[in-house]
Amino acid sequence: MANAEQYLKPEVIQTVARLDLRAKFIVEGFLSGLHASPYHGFSVEFSEHRRYTQGDDPRDIDWQVYAKTDRFYIKKYQAETNLTGYLILDLSESMAYTYRQQLSKFDYGICLAASLAYMMIHQQDPVGLITFGDRIKNFLPARSKRGQLGNILAMLANSQPSGTTEIGQNIQQIASMVKHRSLLMIFSDLLTDQKNVLDGLQRLRYAGHDVILFHILDEAEVYFPFEGMVDLKEPEGGDSLVLDAEGMKADYLEAVQELRGTYQEKLLAMGVDYVPLDTSMPFDKALIEYLSQRKARF
């Protein structure tokens, strides 16, 4: 039996069939790692306390514990209000691609979304789900009740990637659908026109939302492990291109680095958190980004 932290690895989590268990194992593995990391203060276990020490913010003192013990204690995690979040998942055909990883980009995104839903519901934060391809496919309004996790997991489990995508257009529509300021977490490979994506994200920022963009690529799309003559097919349009992998690799890797760098620069300027991921990476990087964003708001 793998220890808890093993469940942060995609090659381990793919052996777990049920999505609810995948989410549970990822979160538990992540939290077990927090206890030995600088992020221990992000713990979602509200019952944990530690003694107040000089330099702590007195506003964080738990006065109920003081009334019982006559000593000052600090909650390791304390939120003053709830954070409303929406998980926004790209269902386009390109998300189904995988080269040698067991989890496709779509599977990887679903695992992340399910894990974040699990964390938010257990923190009593309202969370909703939006899926899109060429149009908005599903919209589940944010709720914090326990049954919401089951609703989200069922919708994720029943989703399948297909067809083309209109990320920019759909993001523009989402800006008008989500009325209250929320944390919007977008999962996509961004294989579409970059300007449209940036315009859509800017609209979300104008509407007052905080945004984390999880840019999910397949391991092969990042590292280009191909050799010899390869026939590359565009998954949504069907176009194909035969090329010499060795002759193309340097230019390809430079283009991917430039793409990511452009997103990093432009999104930083508009106040959007950009998280580049690939399907070989452990899941903890994305969960840290969410908790960092949550902590920054309170």
- pLDDT grade for 78, boundaries at 50, 70 and 90: very low
Residue 77 vs residue 198, higher pLDDT: 198
241 DSSP β-pair partners: 232
Q: For residues 52 and 72, is the Cβ–Cβ distance under 8 A?
A: yes
Parallel, antiparallel or unpaired: strands 210-217 and 240-244? unpaired
Residue 59 vs residue 122, higher pLDDT: 122
Which residue carries 């035969």 as its tokens? Answer: 242
Of the listed ranges 113-122, 239-248, 250-259, the one predicted with least confidence: 239-248
Residue 82 vs residue 87, higher pLDDT: 87
- pLDDT grade for 111, boundaries at 50, 70 and 90: very high
Structure tokens at 90: 């790209």
The pLDDT tens digits for 5-46 are: 676 788 888 888 888 888 888 888 887 776 444 444 444 443
Of the listed ranges 107-116, 126-135, 231-240, the one predicted with least confidence: 231-240
For residues 113 and 262, give the distance between their C-alpha atoms in angstroms, rounded to a whole number: 25
pLDDT score, position 50: 63
| DSSP states along the chain | ---GGGGGSHHHHTT---HHHHHHHHHHHHHHHHTTSTTGGG---TT-EEE--TTS-GGGB-HHHHHHHSS-EEESS--SS---EEEEEE--GGGG--SS-SS-HHHHHHHHHHHHHHHHHHTT--EEEEEESSSEEEEEEEE-STHHHHHHHHHHHT----S---HHHHHHHHHHH--S--EEEEEE---S-HHHHHHHHHHHHHTT-EEEEEEEE-HHHHH----SEEEEE-TTT--EEEEEHHHHHHHHHHHHHHHHHHHHHHHHHHT-EEEEEETTS-THHHHHHHHHHHHHT-
pLDDT score, position 75: 65
Measured in degrees and rounded to the nearest 5, phi and psi for residue 56 equal -70, 155
Q: Count Cβ atoms below 10 Å from residue 149 Cβ, excluding itself.
A: 20
pLDDT score, position 29: 83
For residues 129 and 274, give the distance between their C-alpha atoms in angstroms, rounded to a whole number: 20
pLDDT score, position 44: 41
- pLDDT grade for 235, boundaries at 50, 70 and 90: low
pLDDT score, position 47: 40
Q: Indicate whether 205 pLDDT > 50.
A: yes
Which of 15, 108, 118 lies closest to 6, judged by CA?
15
Q: Indicate whether 209 pLDDT > 90.
A: yes
Average pLDDT over residues 227-231: 78
pLDDT score, position 286: 82
The pLDDT tens digits for 146-165 are: 899 999 999 999 999 988 88
Q: Count Cβ atoms below 10 Å from residue 228 Cβ, excluding itself.
A: 7
For residues 44 and 49, give the distance between their C-alpha atoms in angstroms, rounded to a whole number: 12
Structure tokens at 95: 């998300």
Which of 230, 221, 214, 226 lies closest to 274, judged by CA?
214
Average pLDDT over residues 50-73: 71
* pTM, full prediction: 0.80
